Structures are given as C-alpha cells and as structure tokens.
Structure 1
Amino acid sequence: MMSRIGQSNIIGVVILIAVVLIISSVFLIYAMGNFNKSAASAALSQVESFLTNVADDVEASMYVPGTVLVYPIPSTGYGAFNLINRYCNYTISGYGNFTSGALVYGIPPGLLSYPVNFIDVIRGGYGNGLPSAVVDSPIVNNSAAPLISIVQFGYGEVLGVSYGTYLVVFPRVMIVENPPNAYIYVPVFNPITNTALGSRTTLIINVTSVESTVISLPSGSSVTVSGECGDLSGLVTVNNLNSINIVIINMTITYR
C-alpha cells in the first residue's frame, strides 16, 4: 500500500515538473518574441536615421557632377538593404519618359510587421511642399520641398521578397515655375546591383551627370508632369508657358 502511495507521489511530482517546464518554455518563447520585436523596431529607427542623413547629403550634392558619397551601412542583424530598378516612372507630357530606381530596407514579417495599408512619410509630403505623415507625392511644385523621399510601408512584397515593414528611398520630380518658363528637375537613381557575398557593407552614390535641355513651346502652352513610385502617384499641370528647361540628374547607387 505504502509503495503505491509513493509511486503516486512520484508520478504527481513528475507531472508537476513537466507542467512547470512547459509553462516556462511558453513564457521563454513569448519573451524572446518580444525581445526580437523590440530589437527589430530599434534597428528600423537606426536605419531611418541613417537614410535621412544620406538623403540630406544627396540633396545637397546632386547638382555637382562627379560628387561621390560613401557610407558604411549599419549592420542591424534584423533586416536587409536592397536596390530596386524602375521603382519610379515619370512622364513629361509630350516631352519624355523617365525611370528611377530606389533603395529599400526591409524587415521579415516574423520579426516585425505593420498592417498592409500602413504608411509613414519620413521625408516628403504633398505635391505643394507641405509636410504630411500619410501622403507623399512623386511630383512636387515647390522649390522648398525635399526631392529625396523616405517612406515606411507596412506588410508587402518588393521584387518577390515579403517584408513585415520596409523603408523606401526614392527621388521625386520638382517643378519650379518662373512664368512664362518652368524648370523641371528629374533626379534619377541608377542602381548597379552587386550580388557578391559580403557586398552590402558600404553604400556608394555617385552623381554621374547633370543634363539640361531647353524646349521652346507655343506661347501659353500647358505641360503636365505625372509620376508613379510603387503605390504612390502624383500629377501637376503648369499653364501659360513659353518654354521648359528639363534638368536630368543621373546618379548611380551601388554597394561595395
């Protein structure tokens, strides 16, 4: 009889220990998940600050051909940088089509995820130059507006890669009116993809050329500039023009 009681006690203790271990494992997994989420969020903030500094430098230097900007890429361990070809498509009605690439930093859905329709405009805003947290136009009609945009999106897919959230850096087209003339500035990122292992430690942006073309128009003409960058779009029409000066700013962007 005593033997049976002893066996029952031992079985009870074993079951209790097993339950405690299971509960501990659940709490450990939960804690690790929260830690990874917090670390990924901190990495996103770090990259956001890095890209803002890059955008500021590019905008200050892009009118000087031959300028080369070199940056060590922050190693976050929670996301990856990528280059995208043809992220933006611009059209100057009747006078040309232009495409530009973009720089992307994305975090896998398993580490950090935002809703599909989430958007946070970090650098950019409305077409009239006013700031906005949720609206970004690829076309701006204000010389004081930033030309290099940075936008955070929620869950989505870019070039077949799924991200829980991602940052995109891309150039915008700017129209500066000086009636009866107008300047149209078109910055273009030309990505040079380096697929070699270990090739994403340094970011290099090179201003290769600045090309200006003056086009005479019939007096009182209208010109429409439209653009799409990913899911973002914009359109601006300028009236009563006699000429336009299209300034193409070519920049290569690559890793080393």
Structure 2
Amino acid sequence: MTNPILSVKDLSVRFGAATVVDDVSFAVAPGESFGLVGESGSGKSTILRTIMGLNQDWSGEILVDGQPAASDSRRKFARRVQMVFQDPYASLHPRHLIGKAIAEPMRIHGMDNADARALDLLDLIGLGRNFAYRYPHELSGGQRQRVAIARALSLSPKLLLLDEPTSALDVSVQAEILNLLNTLRKELNLTFVIVSHNLAVVSYMCDRLMVMQNARMVENVTRAQLRNGELKADYTRDFVAASRL
C-alpha cells in the first residue's frame, strides 16, 4: 500500500501491568473503510482511543498522512481526525442546543460562519435545520448519533474513527445510520476505521478488516474472503460461525 492515510506499527498499550493491545500493526488507504472486529475486551476500542491521544502508556508508531500523530498539536490533529463514540446519550451536553453543539468545535478552531455551517451539517445528516433549536433530550437515539456524526464532521476531517457507532441503537435504526455513514464516506471522500463486535456491521461497511483476540491481531481479511469463508485462523472461523447462529 502506498501512502496510507493511517499507519499503525507495532502498537502496544498498557493499563498498569496489563497489556491490552499487544504488538498490533495495520495500515489504511485513503478512502478505505477498515474494520477492527473481535470479542469484547480484545483491544479494539483501545486502539482507536490511543490513536486519538486518549491513552498515554503505549509504544510503537502511529502515523497520519505519514506524520507521527503524537507530534501534531491537538488542534491540528483534530482537523484531520475525529472520533464518533458508542453512546449517543452521553456524547452531547444536555443543556446545549443541538446547533450550538455542532458549531462549538468550529468556534474553538476560529472557523468562520460556524452557525451557518452547523445548519448545513444538519441538512447533510438528514435531520434538517429546525433541529438546531432542540435539546438532546428531545431527540431519539438515532437522531443523537446523527448529531454526533455532524459534530465530528464540523472540522472537515478526512479520517473518522467509529467506535461501535450503532450498538446502542435499535436494530431498525442501525441500518439508517450505517447507510448514512456509507453515503457520507462517498460524498466527502472520507476514510473510516470502524470498531465493532458485530460481524454483520463490519462485513457491510468495510473493505478490509482485522480480527483481534486477547489484545493481539489474529488475521487480516478482505470482505470477499470473509463472505467466501477464505479464513486461515481457527479463531476467525469460530467467530464467524458464532456470529451466524
């Protein structure tokens, strides 16, 4: 792969004496959707949080556009990489209007026309401008997750890290959010790294995926290899079989 937008090499992360990510490497091409899948506790979400600078005790190399992520100022990094978290209920300030929540990152970064751009983003995510004047408690879970996506897009990043973006939502709403994300990736030329324990979500969303178990990488497979059962590791075959039960 030439010129990946994200390169993670020999990443290990520790929480005290425990190693929660152990010597993991992968690279993601611009415009690609790459999945991290495995059972709970395998280290998937920790990788995303480490890329975002939320974990301190780690070793290895994380490059974004060929530059060490840790060398960027937080403001510069935020303009290139954003994260959408799992729980839409916890990610919005309960006393802030939706329009303010979306505009706030733009104001912090000194961007012009933050309020007008927030309205445009509400249109983009399919809610509409009237939602700017509502509070989070007036929105459903799916609507809140759309707002979280709009806020992540407010600084025009090229790389979105998505940590179980639909697992807190009803099944009927999950498909709407996944379809929205697919549409946004194509329209805005975004790159995704998606964490999920749900193999169906990763198979639907991702071009390639890395299977993890007990903090380590098991294997990398393409969507076609996954769907055709072309899997090398026993754990991956067992994980796929269990997902289909």
Q: Which has the higher contact order (CA 8 A, sep 6+)?
A: 2
Greater per-residue helix proportion: 2
- TM-score normalised by L of structure 1: 0.22
Quick check: which has more Rg, 1 or 2? 1
- TM-score normalised by L of structure 2: 0.22
Greater per-residue strand proportion: 1
